[in-house]
Amino acid sequence: MDGPRGDLRLPFAVAGMLVMWASAFPAIRSALPVFPPGALALLRFLFASATLGALSALRGLPRPEGRDLPLILALGLVGITTYHLALNYGSRTVTAGAASLLIASAPMLTALLARFLLGERLARPAWAGIALGFGGIALITLGEGKAFRIEPGALVILLAALAASLYSVLQKKHVGRYPPLLFTTYVVWAGTVPMLVFLPELLSALRVAPPGTIAAVAYLGAFPGGVAYALWVYGLSRVPASRLSSFLYLSPVLAIGIAWVWLREVPGWLSLVGGAITIAGVALANAPQARVGKEAPSRPTKGVAAKSAE
């Protein structure tokens, strides 16, 4: 991915985002034996909220416009609360690599949702890719169970992928209204508030949590949960969503490699086959010939969004 001539900020931003998000899957698996899923999500996003708040304060933190509050609250509930609670609960029984393969179906689900919610037209190759991708998801769901049975944890992670897709669709038309860092900060804050119901559970877990595990959760919050989200919005403000999403196909490969080094775990062969089929389906669904018309990158509008998106 190339930025303007001599400008390496965009490719470095995309590379950093991919590594951070890929590393989140094994980090979650390493923390779950100590923190329950809800407490882990809350602690992670308390760190994320503090990190983003501090960075935004340095740049100035104007209030969001009243008309945008319902959207910000909805994005926080879907893209932060629902996504991360589902991911954490599903990751208790699904390997880090398989979880990342399931989440890799999000661009395909986004294309499907965009067809019905935004009226975007899809060509025949796109529908073929969607069908192929769902076949791959079925194999991963079976592959994570003992013998041939459906693994409930895989279905919960599929719910997380659906939440991520809905988040992308809801965000698509509004990403240019605010600078990426500011927009991400408000969405993360909105998604963190509902997680406060897990505060008693978190306080109990913190009493026995090893410092190393707390440090891993701090990393989850500050980087995959904070900086990477801001980098995603930064990328959306400069290139089409379909083009940026295509780089997410690399995330499972990175996540499996990190999980192998960190946790010594590799998904079963059926999950790997299903993952390859899913990624092929996603690639087919997002190929240029699968789209009708061209999508233009988002552009900042006047007002709050007129500030620098850097």
> Which structure tokens are listed for 7?
């400008």
CB 119 within 8 A of CB 266: no
5-9, 36-40, 230-234, 300-304: least confidently modelled range: 300-304
Whether 308 shows a pLDDT value over 50: the answer reads no
**Which residues are bridge partners to 148 per DSSP?**
none
**Which residues are bridge partners to 122 per DSSP?**
291
Distance CA 199, CA 31 (A): 17
For residue 10, tell me if it sits in a domain: no
Selected residue with higher pLDDT from 246 and 270: 270
Confidence of residue 288 (pLDDT cuts 50, 70, 90): low
Distance CA 267, CA 101 (A): 10
Angle at 165 between CA 276 and CA 117, to 5 degrees: 125
Which residues, at least 6 apart from 264, have a Cβ–Cβ distance to it below 8 Å?
A: none
Instruction: Specify the amino acid at residue 6.
Output: G
For residue 7, tell me if it sits in a domain: no
Distance CA 29, CA 23 (A): 10
Rg of the chain in Å (alpha carbons): 19
**Which residues are bridge partners to 291 per DSSP?**
122
Q: Is the pTM of this model over 0.85?
A: no
Q: Residue 92: which domain range?
A: 17-293
Distance CA 120, CA 118 (A): 6
Confidence of residue 309 (pLDDT cuts 50, 70, 90): very low
For residue 302, tell me if it sits in a domain: no
Cα-Cα end-to-end distance for the chain: 17
For residue 146, tell me if it sits in a domain: yes
Selected residue with higher pLDDT from 119 and 193: 193
Q: Count structural domains, the chain.
A: 1
The pLDDT of residue 243 is: 64
pLDDT in tens, 53-107: 998 888 777 788 888 889 899 999 999 999 999 999 998 888 777 787 778 777 6
For residue 5, tell me if it sits in a domain: no
For residue 11, tell me if it sits in a domain: no
For residue 307, tell me if it sits in a domain: no
CA 167 to chain centre: 9
The pLDDT of residue 265 is: 73
For residue 251, tell me if it sits in a domain: yes
